[in-house]
Amino acid sequence: MHIREFDLERDYDAVLALWKACAPGVGVGNSDTRAEIARKLERDPDLFLIAEDEGRLIGAVIGGWDGRRGMIYHLAVAADARRAGVGTTLMREVEARLRARGCRKAYLLIVPGNEDVIRFYAGLGWQRKPVTILDKTFA
């Protein structure tokens, strides 16, 4: 397995297909269009990582950094590559990159009821927080 930074032209279609295959755990929305991902890459290109095995994309994660807090978006691993350390490797790398920027705390969101994923992140040291999430879409 090899970890590298995402390349929009080379990887977008395969990553989008991976995200869709991981639904409902990974929700694909308006911020996941090619144009919106291009905008994301202008800010944090080194925080969007993919995992490959013999040239095949098997995992992806997006990290975000706003100068104060980090955020993890869309960790996804191909079904046939799960439980082989792909997600753990991607998370360790994106966390290291966030720490290198000075990030002291990061957040991620999990679809309610996804206990396997909660256990995965807990095993990496993430803690459950009792919060209510609100969102607003700006059209």
| Domain boundary assignment for the chain | 2-123
C-alpha 134/C-alpha 115 separation (Å) is 21
Q: Which candidate, 63, 50, 62, places its Cα nearest to that of 14?
A: 50
pLDDT of amino acid 111:
86
C-alpha 76/C-alpha 58 separation (Å) is 8
The predicted-structure confidence for 111-130, as pLDDT tens digits, reads as follows: 888 899 999 999 999 999 98
- What is the rounded average pLDDT of the residues 56-83? 96
Residue 96's pLDDT band, with cuts at 50, 70 and 90, is: very high
The predicted-structure confidence for 1-57, as pLDDT tens digits, reads as follows: 999 999 999 999 999 999 999 978 888 999 999 999 999 999 999 999 999 999 999
Residues 6+ apart with CB under 8 A from 71: 63, 64, 65, 106, 107, 108
Report CA torsion sign: 76, 78, 82, 86: negative
Asked if residue 139 has pLDDT above 80, the reply is: no
Residue 109's pLDDT band, with cuts at 50, 70 and 90, is: very high
pLDDT of amino acid 21:
94
pLDDT of amino acid 68:
93
Residue 83's pLDDT band, with cuts at 50, 70 and 90, is: very high
The CATH topology of domain 2-123 is: Aminopeptidase (3.40.630)
